[in-house]
Chains A and B, each alone.
Chain A
Amino acid sequence: MSKVVACYKWVADEADLRIDADLSVDFSRVKGKISDYDKNAIAEAVNIATAWGEKAVGLTFGTAKAKQSVKDALSRGLEEGYWINADEAADADGAAVAKALAAVIQRIDDVGLVVCAEGASDTFARQVPSRIGAVLDWPVVTSVMKIEIAGNGLMTVRRLDDCMQTVKVQLPAVIAVLPEINTPPIPGLKAVMAAAKKPVHEFKGGDLGINFTPKTKAVEFKGYVMARKNVIFKEGEAADKVRELAAALRKEGVL
């Protein structure tokens, strides 16, 4: 079998985001983290590589800040880290990201599988896995909640709205996984220490020969405030209040 590449994104930790009174979004105190869903992708890549007796490696495209992510990624069981350092990553769109990732995937020897998350926890645009497949001309399976090894290929289960679809896919392929596919283990001491010694390969965005100019552009970020109805049921006994509440919720279509 061949190598598994886990793609992940270094995103802003939403816990540090602040929405100011004028609804502007304050990023000034934001720290980075590996997108939560990508932790599932990394764990799944490691699982499959282990079953194959092969190596799983990590790949990310980001600004210089993304460098911090590599050690964390490697502590999650990946054997090598690849990262693309490009200022353009700050406002790249899905197409540019996929082109950059695919360019490096092509430079890694003998890749049999690329695992991504369905979407990143910041923008959740769900563009990258399919676009990587398009650039590489590999099959893509999205919304995957289960993967089993089936001979030379993989048997995957996709979660659709209210049913499940089983899809067999040939390799090499790109798979986008859902968070329920696994519970990523928290790295232990030895894993964290081992990460410090694993090989890291850096690529400069400019060396990949890609036009990063985005065709879609984020024009504005604005906080979203839900308008509250502010209805308080204070008359009568507890039972009456509950009845009124239930009636009101039913009227809203929530119950």
Chain B
Amino acid sequence: MTRRRVGLFLTEEEKFDVIIVGAGPAGSACAYILAREGKSVLVIERGDTPGAKNVTGGRLYTYALELLDQGLHEEAALERKVIREQIMMLSGDRAITIDYHDPSFNEEGRPPMSYTILRGVFDEWLAGKAEEMGAMVACGIRVDELIERDGRIVGVVAGEDEMYADVVIAADGVNSFMAQRAGLIEDIKAETVAVGIKEVIELPAKTIEERFNLREGQGAARLILGCTEGIHGGGFLYTNKDSISLGCVFMPEEAGQKKKSVHEIFQDVKMHPSIYPLIEGGETIEYGAHLVSEAGFRGIPKKLFREGFLMVGDAAGFVINTGYSIRGIDLAIVSGIAAARAVIGAEGTAAAGPLYMEELKKIKLLPTMQAQDGFSDILETAWLYDKVPDLAADVFENLFTVTGEVPGSVKKDVMRLIRSNDLSAWQFIKLGFKGMRAL
């Protein structure tokens, strides 16, 4: 066999067009497009299988898969299509649940708007699709270092092996080690990330459908406020085929100052009289914890590329947390597509970076994140996490209490409740103002 020598005097086996670090949604989506368009791609994943240890809430917006390839959602490893959007507020042992059902989200003839997913299954499927397109996926291997030559990133080091590529793409998730090594981000700052913990609780499909008022294949997505003992954060609940994903997200700094550990707070959430009946009888089959970027648009690093190096997905800070939904998986996929398009379209490695920024705008990722930037201000409002759920529950208590006594004026009662919850009308005006800006 004669080995063709390419670039840098390497054999063909040692040099790829693109090396992608991480087989999460960002890395696999990027590999899928690159391989489909004929590039030689190596994806390196440290888990024994893609998604083996990945933690997420569990909802994927379908448009991202459609961008990858039309109709892909029909064969994707998905759990249930979300037909119920729910927001739950907890105050002590009380609970308010808002349930929004909008048939237009799931009209015939169009892909349903979103699905619940389990990452172990989904990531493995997506990486498999990239392999089908011709990408090479090497699992069980951690990338330890980047190789730099004349100011350019030209490859990676994994254990004793070096591997070279025209472009290295960091798809290694939040707090990206690759981006740190490339000098594009610093070590993580506590106020820009939250800690998410999550359990997958197994229950028969029928039981889930009964408890959440769903039909076969239909799912519910729920965000929970007032379950974090006043810490910035919230809970989430997603119904999978035969399990429920239940978790909480906390700002670590504040959590550190509380007497209770986040695990204890999470246990209390599970035992809440309005949550426990949903998971009763289920068995926890998976437990995980992971960081999630909280800073939104302003958390995106100043530079997302160097010559021979691009950052995608969580590594680039692409997460939107609005308080009523978390989006990261779809943005990971979309940014992977943008990076692939940039690499394919660029002439020379120096052109890929600037082109990537263009593609991120064209694919509407950066504009979307910018538009939702104001939510970071709202979510900074400390009293959102305890007093608002308390007040809402007080108002409902007032509305629904009938004892035979003469009821007071609703308006006066509400004002009294606002005051007794240590809130002022001024705070609401300020929040309303931030809200207007955010929307």
- Show the binding face of A for B, using Cβ within 8 Å: 18, 29, 31, 186-190, 192-194, 196
Contacts and interface: CB of A to CB of B under 8 A. Distances in A.
Contact of A188 (B42, B160, B285): B160
A187 B140 contact: yes
A189 B163 contact: yes
B44 interface: yes
Contact of B138 (A18, A29, A31, A189): A189
A31 B283 CA distance: 19
B13 interface: yes
A196 B44 contact: no
B264 interface: no
Closest 9 CB pairs of A and B: A189-B161, A189-B158, A192-B138, A190-B161, A188-B159, A189-B141, A188-B161, A193-B138, A189-B138
B96 interface: no
Contacts of B300: none
Contacts of A187: 140-141
Contact of B136 (A18, A29, A31, A196): A196
A164 B136 CA distance: 46
B139 interface: yes
A228 B39 CA distance: 60
A193 B136 contact: yes
B398 interface: no
Nearest to B16: A193
Of A189, A192, A194, chain B has the most CB atoms within 10 Å of the CB of: A189
B274 interface: no
B163 A192 contact: no
A214 to B, nearest CB: 31
A186 B136 contact: no
Of B49, B138, B139, B161, chain A has the most CB atoms within 10 Å of the CB of: B138
19 contacts: A18-B283, A186-B140, A187-B140, A187-B141, A188-B141, A188-B158, A188-B159, A189-B138, A189-B158, A189-B163, A190-B161, A192-B138, A192-B139, A192-B140, A192-B141, A193-B13, A193-B138, A193-B163, A196-B136
Interface in B276-311: 283, 285
Contacts of B161: 188-190
Interface in B156-170: 158-161, 163
Please report whether the interface of chain B is mostly helix, strand, loop or mixed according to DSSP: strand
A188 B136 CA distance: 15
Given A187-B141, A189-B141, 11 more contacts: A18-B285, A31-B49, A186-B140, A187-B140, A188-B161, A189-B44, A189-B138, A189-B158, A192-B139, A193-B136, A193-B163
B308 to A, nearest CB: 19
Nearest to B242: A28
Interface in B27-44: 42, 44
A28 to B, nearest CB: 9
Nearest to A20: B283
Interface in B98-157: 136, 138-141
A187 B159 CA distance: 10
A187 B13 CA distance: 17
A194 B42 CA distance: 12
A90 B25 CA distance: 34
A78 B430 CA distance: 68
Contacts of B44: 189
B64 to A, nearest CB: 27
Contacts of A188: 141, 158-161
A192 B163 CA distance: 12
Interface string B48-81: 0100000000000000000000000000000000
A187 B140 CA distance: 8
Contacts of A18: 283, 285
Contact of A189 (B49, B159, B285): B159
Nearest to B141: A189
Contacts of A194: 13
Of A31, A187, A192, A194, chain B has the most CB atoms within 10 Å of the CB of: A192
B150 to A, nearest CB: 24
Interface in B393-418: none
Contacts of A196: 136
B133 to A, nearest CB: 14
Contacts of A31: 49
B18 to A, nearest CB: 14
B44 to A, nearest CB: 7
A225 B283 CA distance: 18
A196 B137 CA distance: 10
B138 to A, nearest CB: 4
A193 B136 CA distance: 8
Contacts of B136: 193, 196
A29 B141 contact: no
B285 A29 contact: yes
A18 B13 CA distance: 42
Given A18-B285, A188-B160, A188-B161, A193 B140 contact: no
Contacts of A192: 138-141
A186 B159 CA distance: 10
Contacts of B13: 193-194
Nearest to A29: B285
A94 B283 CA distance: 36
Contacts of A190: 161, 163
A31 B140 CA distance: 15
A188 B140 CA distance: 8
Nearest to B139: A192
A141 B285 CA distance: 42
Contact of B42 (A29, A186, A193): A193
A29 B436 CA distance: 47
A105 to B, nearest CB: 28
Contacts of A193: 13, 42, 136, 138, 163
B63 to A, nearest CB: 30
B397 to A, nearest CB: 39
A117 B127 CA distance: 32
B4 to A, nearest CB: 15
